[in-house]
Structure 1
């Protein structure tokens, strides 16, 4: 039987100008019913990259294999029974941090099972496969939590949301409304366990790769129009902001196509945004600028295509004219020199 797809929610944008801003997310899934999948799975992501995985079949947390430029940088060795890392994405685990993670895994698993059983009973789901999920996410800016929330869903529909910073609960299921006693307990758990774990889980030296940016054009085969594309590739992490400008003004999103961040084969990412330009617009000789903001760039990257700025055009014209004058002078001297040699020969 097909298992309902796991939907990963995407965090909102972070401040790209800060290299000390990171996101930490965990997706946990509980499956009730007979399937070939583990009953409970959990995935931890740092800046949208999976770094740790847990499932109820192996009953342990492992560091997932991470490759940078096709080179393994993290792996787990069952013979030596410990994690080995060539690129530390977090502080080496202390006993306290290991205990915190074990507690969080047990707590989330317990919550998922209880909520799943409650909803199965509520909706009279006695047969088939049903999926309960919990999604926890936080943004860490300069070692300070700027956002931390937990969401729960059942069979793809959101049922519960909790802001762990403001302690505001929003639930669509009456059975999930907390009593005051439960609310106080959960506040303590999130403040004393989840929050410290999320802060110790921040990356220390998450590498960045600078995007390669260019503006390209090609003729559309069916319409005959020209497609102007802004291409950014080879960047990491995947969060990026790409804007296409026409004569220094942003092109409206409704005129652009593309915009989806796609993975490259080497662990980096790429993004393309394209604009279809008519022959009339080409004759107007607009200048198009691709502007890219990314964690690896201090300010932004600008790449131009189109009409040449006036100053540059004047400079080019002057250089061309100078080259022509120099060429003419050299040719005249050669001809004069050749003429003098011919005259001397005739006199001889």
Structure 2
């Protein structure tokens, strides 16, 4: 993926920048200050001259196209003078058996999605998903088709294959999440805040859901939910839910469900209404569905799970936070 940014107006930043990503790993950077691309590989790489030539071809053309487009959009939307930002995200993909996939394209101006299309390499044509704000004429459309078929898509696939080979140990790794359940008493209301934290996972795609009595909690009741980087190249996500003192007494069951590429873990947290709001019992139910990672023997998993559950029960009496690490 190449994320390009063109800025209209005076800022301390370069007028035009491009960040080149392989999945969620940054592999290159380019801007209008030096007009040179900086890759993660050494500058004496045997591909250095070719990479610089490809960057000049793609990014320079992108610069002039985005500059022209940005001023058209500015006038079309009746924006006044000042700072305006036009961004473009373009990317290609490799399918199974190393087969080149489609090329995707998104344009945004002022933080609003403006245009979107897919270049289908088999049909050799642009398929529009969001209508153009400022339409192309037929000649420009033919030019765009030619450039995406013969220049952009081939260079993108070539770069993808090269850096996938170089960085495969990074982008293909799988790191299972650790899940932490925490509670905090709210002194002003005598309610509680439940926090569900998944951390240390890779890749970054994860689904973390909070449930009340088996039903998903509405998003407007939850805070957090952003995927944030850790310092070691893994990621974390935290979701928080505030429970009033009245809700605690009602004895609802609250669960945190997590889905990741390797594992599907479910953690349940229950408050016992009969014992009052000071009571806190943690019940852990872990369901492991191995999708990509190597499975371990069932007996070993059960033994480790029993140890983990016994350890979590002992910690409950001393601490209000719990780590669950699922064995592979």
- Sort the TM-score into its range (normalised by shorter chain): 0.5 to 0.7
Q: How does 1:83-162 map to 2 (within 5 A)?
A: 93=47, 99-116=53-70, 118=72, 130-138=84-92, 140-142=94-96, 143=98, 148-156=103-111, 158-162=113-117
Match of 2:267 in 1: 303
- Answer whether contact 1:215 1:304 (CA < 8 A) is retained: no
Name the CA distance, whole Å, in 2 between partners of 1:98 and 1:241.
39
| 1:212 alignment partner in structure 2 | 178
Q: Taking structure 1 as reference, are residues 228 and 144 closer, same or farther at Cα in structure 2, changes over 3 Å only?
A: farther
8 A Cα contact 1:31 1:130, kept in partner: yes
**1:318 — aligned with what?**
none
**Distance in 2 between residues matched to 1:133 and 1:43, nearest whole Å:** 11
Gaps of 5+ in 2: 271-280, 284-328
Does the CA contact (< 8 Å) of 1:214 and 1:290 recur in 2? no
Which of the pair has the greater relative contact order for Cα pairs under 8 Å at 6+ separation?
1
How big is the shift at 1:262? 2.4
Q: Residue 97 of structure 1 contacts residue 197 of structure 1 at CA under 8 Å; is this kept in 2?
A: no
Alignment correspondent of 1:196: 154
CA–CA distance in structure 1, aligned partners of residues 81 and 217 of structure 2: 52
| TM-score between the two structures when normalised by the length of structure 1 | 0.61
CA contact (8 A) 2:20 2:26 kept: yes
Can you list the C-alpha shifts for 1:157-213, whole angstroms capped at 9, x where unaligned? Answer: 55543332361342112xx4231x332332232123322333341633313332110
Give 1:243's aligned residue: 209
2:13 to 18, 37, 43: 37
Q: What are the within-5 Å matches in structure 2 for residues 1-348 of structure 1?
A: 25-33=1-9, 35-63=11-39, 74=40, 76=42, 81-82=43-44, 93=47, 99-116=53-70, 118=72, 130-138=84-92, 140-142=94-96, 143=98, 148-156=103-111, 158-165=113-120, 167-169=126-128, 170-173=131-134, 176-179=135-138, 181-200=139-158, 201=160, 203=164, 204-205=168-169, 206=171, 207-279=173-245, 281-283=247-249, 285-295=251-261, 297=262, 299-306=263-270
Q: Aligned in 2, Cα 1:276/1:167: closer, same or farther, shift over 3 Å?
A: same
8 Å contact from structure 2 (residues 92, 104) kept in 1: yes
In the other structure, the counterpart of 1:315 is none
Distance 1:178 1:82, change over 3 A: farther
Partner of 1:334: none
TM superposition shift of 1:53: 0.5
- Using a 3 Å threshold, how does the CA distance of structure 1 residues 300 and 153 change in structure 2: closer, same or farther? closer
- Structure possessing the higher radius of gyration over alpha carbons: 1
Between the aligned partners of 1:225 and 1:182, the Cα distance in structure 2 is 62
Corresponding position of 1:87: none
Q: What secondary structure, in the 3-state scheme, does the structure 1 residue paired with 2:226 have?
A: coil
1:281 Cα deviation (Å)? 4.4
When the two structures are superposed, what TM-score results if normalisation uses the length of structure 2?
Answer: 0.64
The Cα of 1:225 is off from its aligned counterpart by 1.0
Contact 1:230 1:272 in 2 (8 A): yes
The change in CA–CA distance for 1:54 and 1:305 in structure 2 (over 3 A counts) is same
1:62 Cα offset (Å): 0.7
C-alpha distance in 2 between matches for 1:82 and 1:213: 43
